[in-house]
């Protein structure tokens, strides 16, 4: 027996070795072979990393990064000097959100104001790269991906395929499914009001404005069917066929109908060729024909579309009186340019102004860029821009319209809050109701979770790089801890558990939404820096603002041009809604920034209570 054991011993050793080889060594070697070295982002300062064959080697393309070397780690003297004189985002925000008296003086001195406005546009509107080399078509640069506008652009390349983790090399190998993540991070347990006193009419304005460009293909949200431009397609339709179906083809005007003595968009049955996505329960008389098939979903979208349709027909009458020799087509086309100019002016001077929280007054003056190397008509919507605009935390659980409360689910495809109360009451009601707190997470109505879930899934499909990488791209230092990110401890622990304790694994969408609020802002500084670049570029790169368009003749002469240049949110409402209701993006009496420590309200109280208990025990 012993003899047999001695003979078998070498074979047993060999079998054990082979087993260990199969269990540990071969998988390790295999993983190393398939491991893309670019997963760890070895090319610093956003140099482009390319793997060499199936090896562990890679190359870094450092062109125009301001750095050189094997890993783009050595800074050029020119870049060093430019960074020395260029203020950091924190410095810029501190300057623009403090010293109110100083900015009041600047706002009233034209020469000074134009100087600062030009500098802001140079820093923001001209900063996003163009043409975008990265998009959702492929992991590498292709011409088809750029030429084919059904692909979204990407600000930075996606996470390489075959990486150890979804973030590259950071964090856990598997993240929780999107539904669990959204429920954990976004669920509202108690409504938290916006510390800046933002009114509900603000997120609805943002929704109506952005969705003329943010048009995801279904079911593949990584594709788009939009033009990537501020084109007024929610008013006029994105095709010539839709435009003709929505026009009267007389006097340049758009079709309208009378309801309760007020003008509203036409009915679907009166616009052959217009397709709207209405559920079966919607009454035929409430099926409005609009330029966007989904704009009949909410009364707020119909409200803003109605406002612009009324303005179009009003401006048409002005143009027709000034130019009795013009035919229908010229009246329509010129008036459309006027309305587009008004949209951009109001968006910058009222909407973006409120979101920015600056004391400096933003103005839509594209002529300030005419002598600068602005790339006109260069707007291309980025996945990141689309992602960060999911501002559902701002939406309350109910809406008080007139004397009645409507829950959030009650307003879906329900025009009664608008039609029964009228445009005047609707305006006043939404202007006086406070929106939710944007920053910090855990303030999203449960009925809107589905949209957040789809956003998470889409981001993972296109493999967006982690949140901290985008912080670096926008010249912000990466966060070191979850406490730094959230500004508190309890929620930070929740996020840490989700991402395996690795702050560099936090996904872009999650980081943007849960980041602590920056004083005087609705959101954290990362979202603010990103959106200021994307939005200002989107508006200021429009063809309408180019040197060949931004002149009197484009808008039918001095009267039309002055109409664009003098329009604001309040006079737009007064011109088109009976009774001239007051519209406000900020409710002064609801501003409570001094009481808001930049943390999540419930956690503040809980942490305070826990601290008191600890002191008592000691």
**Mind telling me the catalytic residues?**
211, 389
The rounded distance, in Å, linking the Cα atoms of 243 and 512 is: 37
Q: By the 8 A CB rule, do 194 and 434 touch?
A: yes
The rounded distance, in Å, linking the Cα atoms of 239 and 255 is: 16
Q: By the 8 A CB rule, do 455 and 448 touch?
A: no
CA-only gyration radius of the chain, Å = 28
Q: Of 495, 457, 472, 466, nearest to 40 (Cα)? A: 466
* Cα distances (angstroms) measured from residue 553 to each of 314, 317, 550, 558: 19, 18, 9, 8
Q: By the 8 A CB rule, do 424 and 303 touch?
A: no
The rounded distance, in Å, linking the Cα atoms of 216 and 222 is: 7
Cα-Cα end-to-end distance for the chain: 70
The rounded distance, in Å, linking the Cα atoms of 379 and 131 is: 9
Contact partners, residue 24, CB within 8 Å, separation at least 6: none
Contact partners, residue 536, CB within 8 Å, separation at least 6: 120, 121, 124, 125, 348, 352
Q: Of 446, 605, 543, 464, nearest to 228 (Cα)? A: 543
């Amino acid at each position: 027996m012993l003899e047999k054991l001695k003979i078998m011993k070498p074979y047993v050793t060999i079998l054990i070795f082979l087993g260990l080889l199969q269990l540990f060594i071969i998988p390790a070697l295999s993983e190393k072979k398939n491991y893309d070295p670019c997963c760890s982002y070895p090319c610093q300062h956003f140099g482009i990393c390319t793997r060499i064959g199936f090896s562990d080697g890679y190359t870094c393309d450092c062109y125009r990064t301001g750095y050189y070397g094997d890993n783009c780690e050595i800074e050029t003297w020119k870049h060093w000097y430019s960074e020395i004189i260029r203020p950091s985002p924190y410095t810029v925000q501190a300057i623009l959100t403090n010293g109110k008296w100083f900015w009041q003086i600047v706002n009233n001195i034209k020469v000074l104001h134009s100087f600062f406005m030009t500098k802001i546009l140079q820093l923001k509107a001209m900063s996003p790269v163009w043409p975008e080399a990265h998009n959702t078509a492929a992991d590498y640069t292709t011409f088809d991906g750029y030429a084919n506008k059904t692909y979204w652009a990407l600000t930075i390349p996606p996470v390489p395929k075959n990486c150890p983790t979804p973030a590259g090399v950071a964090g856990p190998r598997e993240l929780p499914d999107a539904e669990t993540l959204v429920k954990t991070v976004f669920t509202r347990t108690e409504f938290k009001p916006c510390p800046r006193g933002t009114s509900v009419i603000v997120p609805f304005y943002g929704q109506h404005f952005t969705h003329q460009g943010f048009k995801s293909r279904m079911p593949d949200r990584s594709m788009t069917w939009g033009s990537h431009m501020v084109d007024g397609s929610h008013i006029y339709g994105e095709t010539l066929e839709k435009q003709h179906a929505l026009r009267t083809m007389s006097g340049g005007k758009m079709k309208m109908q009378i309801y309760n003595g007020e003008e509203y968009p036409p009915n679907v049955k009166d616009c052959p060729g217009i397709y709207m996505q209405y559920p079966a329960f919607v009454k035929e008389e409430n099926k409005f024909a609009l330029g966007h098939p989904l704009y009949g979903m909410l009364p707020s979208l119909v409200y803003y579309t109605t406002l612009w349709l009324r303005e179009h027909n009003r401006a048409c009458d002005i143009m027709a009186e000034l130019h009795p020799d013009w035919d229908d087509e010229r009246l329509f086309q010129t008036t459309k340019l006027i309305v587009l100019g008004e949209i951009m002016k109001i968006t910058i001077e009222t909407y973006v102004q409120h979101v920015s929280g600056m004391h400096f007054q933003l103005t839509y003056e594209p002529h300030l860029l005419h002598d600068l190397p602005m790339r006109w008509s260069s707007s291309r919507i980025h996945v990141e821009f689309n992602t960060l605009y999911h501002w559902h935390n701002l939406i309350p659980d109910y809406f008080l319209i007139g004397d009645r409360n409507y829950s959030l689910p009650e307003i879906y495809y329900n025009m009664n809050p608008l039609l029964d109360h009228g445009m005047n009451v609707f305006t006043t009601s939404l202007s006086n109701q406070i929106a939710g707190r944007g920053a910090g997470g855990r303030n999203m109505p449960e009925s809107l979770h589905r949209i957040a879930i789809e956003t998470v899934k889409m981001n993972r499909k296109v493999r967006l790089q982690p949140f901290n990488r985008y912080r670096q791209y926008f010249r912000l230092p990466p966060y070191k801890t979850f406490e730094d990110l959230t500004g508190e401890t309890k929620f930070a622990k929740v996020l840490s558990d989700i991402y395996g304790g690795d702050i560099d694994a936090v996904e872009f969408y999650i980081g943007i939404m849960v980041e602590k609020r920056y004083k005087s802002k609705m959101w954290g500084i990362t979202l603010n820096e990103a959106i200021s670049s994307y939005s200002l570029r989107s508006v200021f790169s429009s063809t309408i603002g180019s040197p060949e368009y931004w002149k009197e003749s484009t808008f039918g002469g001095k009267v039309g041009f002055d109409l664009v240049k003098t329009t604001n949110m309040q006079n737009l409402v007064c011109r088109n809604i009976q009774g001239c209701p007051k519209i406000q993006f900020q409710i002064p009496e609801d501003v409570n920034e001094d009481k808001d420590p930049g943390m999540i309200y419930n956690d503040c109280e809980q942490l305070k209570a826990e601290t008191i208990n600890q002191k008592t025990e000691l």
